[in-house]
């Protein structure tokens, strides 16, 4: 057992970082207590500074689909590292990664690499506005698209209203350009587009939401958005930063058979390293500078280490002929059945949403199809559930509004151990 304590590290961290963290959810604000400072990870397990080990169902918020410290990815990074860490210039590996993305994602002909998902979504919206010469965009309550000003917008008082800033520092004038609609509420989008469709540049949506827990699109919802965008000359942007290559080798759009105008990617596409992508048809992507008028840039875009990790991971997924996704579906089904049975044994009301290896657990009757329903989840019960699992050696996201993830490194024994942990809880 290490002499270092998480509490001591957190106390030091609070002297240097706002709230002691570099991304807010890490501070355990939703659940209370002390964040675990992770020392290492391998396979499906993470180890904190005190030497405590946990079965990990966060997976660095999604990218670790093959597991932590996968040998092939580490080797790819190691080889790239020998050549240098950053050049600010094109590399052959960028071509290789782009080729894989184009091969795997439906309708994608060109890509622009960025350093994060936030940069990707921000750039995609700028591209849509530049192409359509319009200003308004529509987003959905509970969907998170990064922390650019246009997306830090909360819903107003109506079913489909101009938003208002959800964070100080976001100008009201910027928020006024974003309309916020409940997820899965196609009727409200239809009404808004009927009134102002000629002013809407884009509708941006997580095709399978992962930032209010895992929430699936209702039948006809995404198809309706596609039809509305086509009808009114707006662009449909799928934010697949979370779902891209996670739920299907072609992302949610490949799974669901719907073609957006633009797609944003992240997480898995960087193999766990910092990476974001804007991609789509050549006709749209060639509007980006330097050959088009719409400016977008980044010194670390296409960082060679991130690109090498992404190539290794996407190659593994692409070469599996779907076997990886079949295995992940089986693991997801085993987890769902085990956890459901364990929670039912405690007499706990709950709702479960899952797509393959991506899942959401809500302590409410359900069904959960939008943020308002997700918000009815018993947050105090989640807090006890979260800390109880930590004590039993199982780590889930420290928020009731985040999806969970499985990896190829989770064995049946690991999944069953997590079920036994739930059975042992005093809730």
DSSP string of 29-50, one letter each residue: TTT-S----EEEEEBTEEEETT
Quick check: helix, strand or coil at residue 126?
helix
The C-alpha atoms of residue 284 and residue 234 are separated, in whole angstroms, by 13
Cis peptide before 100 (omega within 30 of 0): no
C-beta separation of 65 from 313 below 8 A? yes
Of residues 392, 359, 417, the one with CA closest to residue 58: 359
| E runs forming strands in 96-214 | 110-114, 136-141, 153-154, 161-162, 164-165, 178-182, 200-205
Enumerate the β-bridge partners of residue 46.
41, 54
Enumerate the β-bridge partners of residue 263.
238, 279
Burial letters 100-113, b for 16+ CB under 10 A, else e: bbeebbebbebbbb
The C-alpha atoms of residue 238 and residue 217 are separated, in whole angstroms, by 12
C-beta separation of 35 from 6 below 8 A? yes
Sign, CA torsion 6/9/14/19:
negative
Which residues are known catalytic residues? 144, 239, 267
| E runs forming strands in 227-322 | 235-240, 262-266, 276-280
CA geometry: angle at 152 spanning 399 and 162, to 5°? 125
Quick check: helix, strand or coil at residue 144?
coil
Rounded to 5 degrees, what are φ and ψ at 221?
-65, -55
CA–CA distance from 393 to each of 236, 344, 350 (Å)? 42, 21, 22
């Amino acid at each position: 057992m290490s002499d270092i304590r998480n509490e001591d590290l957190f106390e030091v961290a609070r002297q240097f970082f706002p709230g002691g963290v570099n991304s807010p959810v890490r501070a355990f604000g939703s659940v209370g207590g002390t964040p675990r400072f992770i020392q290492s990870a391998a396979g499906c397990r993470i180890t904190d500074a005190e030497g405590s080990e946990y079965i990990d169902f966060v997976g660095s918020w999604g990218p670790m689909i093959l597991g932590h410290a996968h040998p092939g990815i580490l080797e790819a990074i190691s080889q790239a590292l020998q050549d240098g860490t950053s050049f600010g210039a094109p590399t052959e590996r960028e071509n290789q990664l782009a080729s894989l993305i184009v091969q795997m994602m439906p309708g994608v002909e060109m890509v622009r690499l960025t350093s994060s998902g936030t940069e990707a979504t921000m750039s995609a919206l700028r591209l849509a506005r530049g192409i359509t010469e319009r200003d308004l965009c529509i987003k959905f309550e509970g969907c998170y698209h990064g922390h650019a000003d246009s997306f830090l917008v909360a819903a107003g008082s109506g079913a489909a209203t101009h938003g208002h800033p959800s964070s100080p520092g976001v100008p009201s004038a910027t928020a006024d350009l974003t309309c916020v609609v409940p997820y899965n509420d196609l009727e409200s989008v239809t009404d808004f587009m009927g009134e102002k469709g000629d002013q809407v540049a884009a509708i941006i949506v997580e095709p399978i939401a992962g930032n209010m827990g895992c929430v699936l699109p209702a039948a006809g919802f995404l198809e309706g958005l596609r039809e509305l965008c086509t009808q009114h000359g707006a662009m449909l942007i799928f934010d697949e930063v979370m779902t891209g290559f996670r739920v299907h080798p072609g992302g949610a759009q490949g799974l669901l058979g719907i073609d957006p105008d633009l797609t944003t990617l992240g997480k898995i596409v960087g193999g766990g390293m910092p990476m974001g992508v804007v991609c789509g048809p050549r006709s749209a992507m060639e509007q980006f500078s330097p050959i088009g008028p719409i400016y977008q840039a980044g010194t670390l875009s296409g960082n060679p280490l991130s690109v090498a990790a992404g190539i290794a991971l996407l190659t593994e997924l692409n070469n599996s002929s779907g076997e990886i996704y079949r295995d992940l579906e089986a693991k997801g089904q085993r987890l769902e059945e085990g956890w459901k049975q364990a929670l039912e044994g405690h007499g706990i009301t709950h709702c479960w949403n899952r797509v393959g290896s991506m899942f959401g657990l809500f302590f409410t009757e359900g069904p959960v199809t939008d943020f308002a329903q997700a918000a009815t989840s018993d947050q105090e019960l989640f807090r006890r559930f979260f800390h109880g699992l930590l004590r039993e050696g199982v780590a889930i996201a420290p928020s009731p509004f985040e999806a969970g993830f499985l990896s190829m490194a989770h064995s049946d024994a690991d999944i069953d151990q997590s079920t036994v942990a739930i059975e042992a809880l005093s809730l």
